[in-house]
Amino acid sequence: MNLWFAHRAAEKLKKLKNKTRCHRCGLYYEKHLRACSHCSALDDLQLDAIIRKRRSFRTKLGIGMFIGAVVFFGLILLGAIGLR
């Protein structure tokens, strides 16, 4: 493990010590606040819509990354076959 990675991990852990995870939206907010700054002003329907949108984005991003990896490795294989 290199020094840069250890330093970044220590910084992230230090930032998370001052935060609490919200039970409604799953995001982190400062411990000194009484309620989550992300979802405290939202009702349940609005919060559900935001969570569904976030989940949909993550799914699409994952599929896009998978397709990109398949294309990348396919091009590498085609290049390796062409060099023979």
Sign of the C-alpha dihedral, residues 32, 33, 36, 38?
negative
- For residue 29, pLDDT over 80 is answered with yes
pLDDT of residue 82: 77
pLDDT of residue 17: 82
- For residue 1, pLDDT over 70 is answered with no
The two tokens of residue 27 are: 């995001």
Greater model confidence, 71 or 4: 71
pLDDT of residue 14: 80
SS3 labels along the chain: CCHHHHHHHHHHHHHHHCEEECCCCCCEEECCCCCCCCCCCCCHHHHHHHHHHHHHHHHHHHHHHHHHHHHHHHHHHHHHHHCC
